[in-house]
Amino acid sequence: MIHPPVELLQSSRIAVIGDVMLDCYMMGEVSRISPEAPVPVMRVVNEHSVPGGAANVAANLASLHVGVNLVGLAGRDSVRAELIDAICGLGEVDCSRIIETDDRRTTRKLRIIGAHQQIVRVDHEDMLPLGTDLEGRLIAAARGAIDDAHAVVISDYGKGVCTDSVLRAVIDHARSSSKKVIVDPKRLDLAAYHGASILTPNRKELSDATGLPCETDEEAAAAAARAQKVSGAHILLTRSEKGLSFFPTDGGPTHLATAAQNVFDVSGAGDTVVAVLAAALAANLPMLECMRLANHAAGIVVSKLGTASVSCDELSGSIQAENVSSGVEDGRLLSPDAMVALRWAWARERLTVGFANGCFDLLHPGHVSLLQQAASACDRLIVALNSDASVQRLKGETRPVQDEQSRAIVMGALKGVAAVVIFDEDTPRELIEALKPDVLIKGADYTIEQVAGADVVQARGGRVVLADLSAGHSTSRLVATSSGR
């Protein structure tokens, strides 16, 4: 159930050129101070690595099933190999243009996090100037990547790839083939990006580059105007809690309030904005729709820990949830599309969503017990009912005893059931793939391997709960007993 504008993004291919790096996270528990020095002692619980910088832009595009030609520079080391493996596992990303060199290490940022708070960041990087040979190889790789793409992203993290010569060659080559260039800038001198289509600075970056404050709408407009004088580009300003503001070179500004409900970590949010913006522009969507998609994507990633990306389902769900109240929990019957929208409205409120399914024909104490256990395992419980046609295929011509509308009314009246949805397939797998619940509840007469959709839920970090059964209760037995009287 992918929202149409999100689906359109998948028709494009983007050239991403810039500083690739590996973002590493070491997380643990801090409970004491070292006797050796007044510093915290952290017991490591988890370590993981994800693509960072330009590689994170590529990761965000790949998560949305957008093709990527990635150009960058990396050392001939194990970090490069880990980075390439991480990127290639995400989707259609061509990493063949990441140039290897013996002159520098692959950039690696290690963030040490204790009790959900970053204690220190350790950067492994070399800032040596590029030689003529490396610069020439980067330019050749970039031109090839642009030729096979619909739009271009320059992800400048100031680590050495985006030299004056590289920037000029990339922008001029893209302009010669009428391809838009979107730049995530880090330089103070924005004239280096002259000829780009759009610059996407955050408030601090724009303020630092122009020497002007950038808090109010009026201040942001003045700073954007100064940036446009030297760059000639439109400005899309990311403003954290104030959302996005677009300042075209030839018109009035457009402001969008933030779509974020809970901000956990802003790391990499700018990468997400530039990735979604580029894909949307390449798909020829109107600028307001491009902003809307980028705004929703940013709102999703800031609710996640560390550098992260957004999936098609998450982005579609966030858009569909835009005008849906998350306060719904009265057991009402909803269509599958409306249920998807509500599920993501709950997600924006950081509510845990559970999913239980069945025919639930002739409600009995066993059903009640299972649903009570299901409701206690989550904040909001969705009950999915087999349609009448589905029940008939599974149980025989004489079933169901009650039609789907009657069963939905009964289910919705039970305490703990937030909403009800009907599915027509033999199993709810398709519905589970669309809803992506956090918790999947089924009776203990199943094994986890037998539960439809268990793999879908577990793949995104969810869990499967096998509820205890209340012995001696069965709808089929009730029907047989009633028929025998």
* Residues involved in catalysis: 271
CA distances (Å), origin 317, targets 1, 215, 483: 9, 31, 46
* SS3 state of residue 214: coil
CA distance 120 to 127: 21
Residues 6+ apart with CB under 8 A from 124: 79, 105, 107, 108, 109, 110
Residue 95 backbone phi and psi in degrees, to 5: -100, 10
- Cα separation of the two ends of the chain: 47
The sign of the CA dihedral 399, 337, 66, 318 is negative
* SS3 state of residue 129: coil
Amino acid occupying residue 278 = A
Beta pairing, strands 198-199 & 234-238: parallel
CA distance 143 to 316: 33
Residue 452 tokens, joined: 């439809």
Instruction: Calculate helix-pair angle for 269-282, 54-63, nearest 10 degrees.
Output: 60
CA distances (Å), origin 485, targets 219, 346, 396, 473: 82, 47, 20, 18
What DSSP state is assigned to residue 189?
-
Contact 327, 351 (CB under 8 A): no
CA distances (Å), origin 110, targets 27, 49, 73, 446: 10, 9, 19, 43
